[in-house]
A = this chain, B = another copy of it.
Amino acid sequence: MNSLSTACLIVIGDEVLSGRTEDKNINFIAKRCDKIGVNLAAVRIIPDDHKVIKDAVIECHNDFDYVFTTGGIGPTHDDITTECIAKAFKVNIEVNQEALRRLKVHYKKLKVVLNGSRIKMARIPIGAELIDNPVSSAPGYIIKNVYVLPGVPKILQAMFIGLEDKICGINNMISKNIVVHSAEGEIAEFLENIQSKFNEVSIGSYPYFRPPDVGTNLVLRSLDINLINKASLAILKKLTEYKIQFEEN
Instruction: List chain A positions with a Cβ less than 8 A from chain B.
Output: 11, 14-23, 26-34, 39-48, 52, 74-79, 112, 115-118, 120-121, 135-136, 152, 154-155, 183-189, 191-192, 195-196, 202-209, 219, 221
Contact = CB atoms under 8 A, between A and B. Distances in A.
A205 B74 contact: yes
B74 A189 contact: no
Contacts of A46: 42
14 contacts: A14-B202, A15-B204, A17-B39, A17-B43, A18-B30, A18-B221, A20-B34, A74-B188, A75-B184, A76-B205, A115-B189, A117-B192, A152-B207, A154-B209
B118 A21 contact: no
Given A183-B112, A185-B117, A206 B21 contact: yes
Nearest to A185: B118
Given A19-B28, A19-B34, A117-B186, 4 more contacts: A14-B204, A20-B204, A78-B205, A152-B207
A44 B43 contact: yes
Contacts of A121: 185
